[in-house]
């Protein structure tokens, strides 16, 4: 049985926010498996609010990042896993209203439920206090994660970095080819080559999928180029 002021005290203690309309936050912290208004609509709204606020802060923090880089950075902050981790840190699972089935199965620890509930709380704060209330709250919750983000270039996969390197020097794109596939259908290993004809270089990679093998081959090609740079062609 929840107390009369649920979840107002939790909001004040954990988020430093005093709700005006408690019904919004009761819905935000009620999973669809429980009776009464649930957080699905607020989750939809909160997802948009979170993306807006985080995008705004990333835009300011990385003034030279391109659109694709900013999108990758944002995904590092607002995807399911980091949202669930923030929710766990707030003790959000302990205050969630869940149906009996979800309670028995440990739903209060499930990433998807925690992430959705955090989004719903953000949506409720936005409705209750507007952007001036929700933006500083989100900024506090995610400040450390934004500060710890790597430089945008580090988020690009090896194939993308190799392609951009070659394009910046007007060189032909690499050629990938499957050299060998070993193992049973459910446990295959791919061996792939990555050839850069204009540099006269070839590297190989292994992986449980063709894509992973290509990524490893591209990474090895980049390492080879970095270790033994191409000669100056302008001479």
Choosing from 47, 128, 195, 214, the catalytic residue is 47
Q: Count Cα neighbours of 138 within 13 Å in the Cβ-side half-sphere.
A: 31
By the 10 Å C-beta count (0-12 exposed, 13-18 middle, 19+ buried), 42 is classed as buried
- Here the tokens at position 80 are 């399911």
Catalytic hit among 116, 119, 214, 219 = 119
| Residue 119 annotated as catalytic | yes
Distance CA 140, CA 90 (A): 12
For 3, the 3-state DSSP assignment is: coil
Would you call the peptide bond into 72 cis, given omega within 30 degrees of 0 as the criterion? no
Residues 100 and 94: their CA atoms lie apart, in Å, by 14
Q: Mapping DSSP to helix (H, G, I), strand (E, B) and coil, where does residue 183 land?
A: coil
Rounded Cα–Cα distance for residues 28 and 46 (Å): 10
Which residue numbers are catalytic?
A: 47, 119
């Amino acid at each position: 049985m929840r107390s009369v002021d649920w979840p107002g005290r939790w909001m004040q203690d954990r988020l430093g926010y005093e709700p005006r309309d408690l019904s919004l936050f009761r819905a935000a912290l009620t999973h669809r498996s429980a009776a009464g208004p649930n957080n699905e609509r607020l989750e939809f709204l909160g997802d948009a609010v979170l993306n807006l606020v985080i995008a705004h802060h990333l835009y300011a923090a990385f003034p030279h990042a391109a659109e694709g880089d900013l999108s990758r950075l944002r995904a590092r902050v607002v995807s399911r896993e980091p949202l669930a981790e923030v929710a766990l840190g707030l003790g959000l699972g302990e205050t969630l209203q869940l149906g009996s089935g979800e309670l028995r199965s440990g739903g209060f620890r499930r990433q998807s439920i925690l992430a959705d509930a955090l989004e719903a709380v953000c949506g409720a704060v936005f409705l209750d206090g507007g952007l001036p209330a929700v933006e500083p709250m989100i900024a506090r919750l995610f400040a450390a994660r934004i500060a710890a983000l790597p430089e945008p270039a580090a988020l690009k996969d090896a194939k993308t970095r190799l392609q951009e390197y070659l394009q910046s020097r007007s060189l032909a794109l690499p050629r990938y080819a499957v050299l060998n596939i070993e193992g049973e259908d459910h446990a295959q290993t791919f061996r792939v080559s990555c050839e850069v004809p204009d540099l006269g270089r070839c590297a190989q990679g292994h992986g449980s999928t063709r894509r992973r093998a290509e990524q490893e081959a591209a990474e090895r090609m980049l390492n080879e180029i970095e270790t033994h740079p191409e000669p100056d062609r302008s001479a």
